[in-house]
Amino acid sequence: MSTYVIGDVQGCFVELKKLLEKIAFDADNDTLWFTGDLVNRGPQSLDVLRFVKALGNQHRVVLGNHDLHLLAIAYGARELHRHDTLADILTAPDRDELLDWLRHCPLLHYDQQTQFVMTHAGLAPMWNLKKAQKLAQEVERVLCGDQFISFLQHMYGNEPDRWDDALTGIDRWRCITNYFTRMRFCYADGRLDFAYKGELAGKPVALIPWFDVKNRANANEKIVFGHWAALGGKTDQLHLYALDTGCVWGNCLTAMRLADEKRFSVNCR
């Protein structure tokens, strides 16, 4: 009986099946965690959604920015982009069931037994775990409630780019969502930067990876996250596990077994 965390799948269903074969996944006993971005860019997003949903109690999923993008398109809050590969979901006979399931997935998962935290992009440097859980639940209630379409319509945008407890309404929810699903680099005060997405070696001097911000409030937590393929799965920090290894870009898909933190990867097309 094992728990494996899998990085961003993004519609790469063939590679997901290969990875599950490699770890000898037992659907009756093992549990799979997914760091978000189940869909988009890859060729089989519909198959991925159907497979993960069918796992029932044997899975945990957090929402990524591409998952939220799918919801925004499906509910009329956004148009398809040229590079989106979501049409098969939008025309599927079970689309409503899949979308409703996805909409009820959380932004943060915390397992008290193993003390691992999972989010798509990480934890904002100024939030401790208790704070992050509370803020994630705020947005989760909106997504599961009557205001979810209005939220999706106003979800996009880079402002506010720094957390403030005084934020209210859609500005507050957008800021929370951006930290959980889009964060990579910050400034020293925790303000988000969305412009630079390249390698660490070439970053502007003022930018800091979110996990390197001084006095990070969640530095003692064991955090698994995806989203940032340019890291190549490495952070050089204890208790911090980057699992997006760029499958959709032709690199590899990676799983980590929680019990011993051993990683398993398969090459991607």
Model confidence pLDDT, tens digit, residues 180-235:
999 999 999 999 999 998 888 899 999 999 999 999 999 999 999 999 999 999 99
Categorize the per-residue pLDDT at 269 as very low, low, confident or very high, splitting at 50, 70 and 90.
Answer: confident
Q: Which two tokens stand for residue 59?
A: 């899975």
52-69: pLDDT as tens digits: 999 999 999 999 999 999
State residue 125's pLDDT score: 98
Pairing between strand 240-242 and 185-186?
unpaired
The pLDDT, as a whole number, for residue 154 is 97
Please state the φ and ψ torsions of residue 263, each to the nearest 5 degrees. Answer: -105, 150
Angle at 198 between CA 194 and CA 202, to 5 degrees: 115
206-to-161, 175, 182, 202 alpha-carbon distances in Å? 15, 21, 19, 12
Residue type, 229: A
pLDDT bracket for residue 148 (50, 70, 90):
very high
In the structure, how many helices (H) and strands (E) does the chain have? 8, 12
Supply 120's token pair. 């798509």
End-to-end CA distance of the chain: 30
Residue with tokens 């970053």: 203
Answer CATH for 3-267 from 3.40.50.880, 3.60.21.10, 3.30.420.340, 3.40.50.300: 3.60.21.10
In this structure, the number of other CB atoms found within 10 A of the CB of residue 135 comes to 23
Type of residue at 141: R
Reported as a pLDDT band with limits 50, 70 and 90, residue 19 is: very high
- What is the pLDDT averaged over residues 143-154? 96
Which two structure tokens, joined as six digits, stand for 143? 């997504």
Separation between Cα atoms, residue 87 and residue 129, nearest integer Å: 37
CA distance 58 to 222: 21
What is the β-pairing status of strands 31-34 and 59-61? parallel
Q: Is the overall model pTM greater than 0.85, yes or no?
A: yes
CA–CA gap between residue 53 and residue 48 (Å, rounded): 8
pLDDT tens per residue across span 185-197: 999 999 999 999 8
Over residues 27-39, the pLDDT tens digits come to 999 999 999 999 9
Q: Three-class SS string for 70-81?
A: HHHHHCCCCCCC
Tell me the mean pLDDT in the region 141-149: 96
Question: Contact at 8 Å (CB) between 136 and 108?
Answer: yes
Which of 228, 219, 223 is closest to 258 using CA atoms?
223
Please give the distance of CA 25 from its chain centroid, rounded to a whole number: 22
Instruction: With beta carbons less than 8 A apart as the criterion, state whether 264 and 27 touch.
Output: no
Q: What b/e sequence results for 19-36 when a residue is b if at least 16 CB atoms lie within 10 Å of its CB, and e otherwise?
A: bbeebebeeeebbbbbbb
- Chain segment 76-90, per-residue pLDDT in tens: 999 999 999 999 999
Every domain of the chain and the residues it spans: 3-267
Round the average pLDDT of the chain to a whole number and report it. 97
Output the CA–CA distances (angstroms, integers) from residue 108 to 39, 40, 258, in the order listed.
Answer: 18, 21, 17
